[in-house]
């Protein structure tokens, strides 16, 4: 059973460009969350998608947007890239059992903005 | 989500038990304590969670104090592959929809 799959694994973009990252959730998971992890820091929550809608959002500007497709896969889009957007972007899919959520994380996409 | 405090780093000898503490004095009654770890260049991996009873699974044991203000993650026989950043997280699920608030975590280094 495949876990969470993210693509691409590495990406280099120029400041001001736009980028799209992709995530396929683990089989049976219907919720996808995105996290940004700067070097040496813990992951920071960007937003979460459920039933193709953004359900919750962290403290990130509107340059960060997302989408969830009917097959539960998701995309993270970042516009007008800044040098500070360089980070590891993690996707996590989740399931809910008895009111609790369990997360499975992908290995992430390493974005470098130059 | 509760604020958690962990030591920035710890060392452990291979084969010995690794005991990782976490302080969560502001945890509310409906918040669970979750532990995740992140091995270099990988995504975080779920280890264990608990509410107020001690928990054990194939990876680790979780000891939660009676007042729930602190907990300890125990890796009973640490191996070199357990070298990672360990995160303690308080989370209520429910209306937070399971959003995880990561802190800085504890860098555990297991040495031969």
* pLDDT cut 70: percent of chain A above it: 94
User: What's the gap in Å between the CA of A101 and the closest CA on chain B?
Assistant: 5
What confidence score (pLDDT) does residue B31 get?
Answer: 84
User: What's the gap in Å between the CA of A81 and the closest CA on chain B?
Assistant: 23
Burial letters A28-53, b for 16+ CB under 10 A, else e:
ebebbbbbbbeeeebbbbbbbbbeee
- Between positions 1 and 60 of B, the ones with CB within 8 A of A are 32, 36, 41-46, 49
pLDDT tens for each residue of B75-105 = 999 999 999 999 998 876 655 566 788 888 9
B102 and A42 within 8 Å at the Cβ level: the answer is yes
A55 and B32 within 8 Å at the Cβ level: the answer is no
Measured CA to CA, the distance from residue A55 to residue A101 in angstroms comes to 14
Measured CA to CA, the distance from residue B9 to residue B3 in angstroms comes to 18
Burial class (CB in 10 A: 0-12, 13-18, 19+), A26: buried
What confidence score (pLDDT) does residue A99 get?
Answer: 63
Contact B88, B24 (CB under 8 A): yes
What confidence score (pLDDT) does residue A1 get?
Answer: 55
What confidence score (pLDDT) does residue B84 get?
Answer: 97
How far is CA B105 from its chain centroid?
Answer: 8
How far is CA A46 from its chain centroid?
Answer: 7
What confidence score (pLDDT) does residue B93 get?
Answer: 62
> Would you give the DSSP letter of residue A25?
P
A56 and B99 within 8 Å at the Cβ level: the answer is yes
B97 in contact with A at a CB cutoff of 8 Å? yes
What confidence score (pLDDT) does residue B95 get?
Answer: 54
What confidence score (pLDDT) does residue B80 get?
Answer: 97
What confidence score (pLDDT) does residue B3 get?
Answer: 83
Q: Is the dihedral of CA A53, A27, B51, B13 positive or negative?
A: negative
Q: Is the dihedral of CA B77, B104, B91, B52 positive or negative?
A: positive
List, in sequence order, every beta strand (DSSP E) within chain B: 9-13, 18-23, 32-38, 45-50, 55-56, 61-64, 70-75, 84-91, 106-111
Count other C-beta atoms under 10 Å from residue B5's C-beta: 14
Average pLDDT, 10 consecutive residues per value, chain B (112 residues): 88 97 88 92 91 92 94 97 94 66 93 96
A44 and B102 within 8 Å at the Cβ level: the answer is yes
CA geometry: angle A32, A41, B63, nearest 5 deg: 80
B97: left (phi over 0), alpha (psi -120 to 50) or beta: left
What confidence score (pLDDT) does residue A28 get?
Answer: 85
- Whether A100 has a pLDDT exceeding 90, the answer reads no
Which candidate from A4, A50, A102 shows the least CB-CB separation from B46? A102
Alpha carbon separation from A86 to A64, A89, B68 (Å, rounded): 13, 9, 37
pLDDT tens for each residue of A38-70 = 998 999 999 999 999 998 899 999 999 999 999
- Whether A101 has a pLDDT exceeding 60, the answer reads yes
What confidence score (pLDDT) does residue A49 get?
Answer: 94
């Amino acid at each position: 059973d495949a876990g969470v799959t993210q693509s691409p694994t590495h990406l280099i973009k120029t400041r001001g460009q736009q980028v799209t990252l992709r995530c396929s959730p683990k089989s049976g998971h219907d919720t996808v969350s995105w996290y940004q992890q700067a070097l040496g820091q813990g992951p920071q929550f960007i937003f979460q998608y459920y039933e193709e809608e953004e359900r919750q959002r962290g403290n990130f500007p509107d340059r960060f947007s997302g989408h969830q497709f009917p097959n539960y896969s998701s995309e993270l889009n970042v516009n007008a890239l800044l040098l500070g957007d360089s980070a590891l972007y993690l996707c996590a899919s989740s399931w809910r059992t008895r009111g609790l959520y369990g997360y499975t994380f992908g290995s992430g996409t390493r974005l470098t903005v130059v | 989500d509760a604020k958690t405090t962990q030591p920035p780093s710890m060392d452990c000898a291979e084969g010995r038990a690794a005991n990782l503490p976490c302080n969560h004095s502001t945890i509310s009654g409906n918040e669970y304590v979750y532990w995740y770890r992140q091995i270099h260049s990988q995504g975080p991996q779920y280890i264990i969670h608990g509410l107020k009873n001690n928990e054990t699974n194939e990876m680790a044991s979780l000891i939660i104090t009676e007042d729930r203000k602190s907990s300890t993650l125990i890796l009973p026989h640490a191996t070199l592959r357990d070298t990672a950043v360990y995160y303690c997280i308080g989370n209520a699920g429910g209306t937070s929809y399971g959003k995880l608030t990561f802190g800085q975590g504890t860098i555990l280094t297991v040495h031969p």
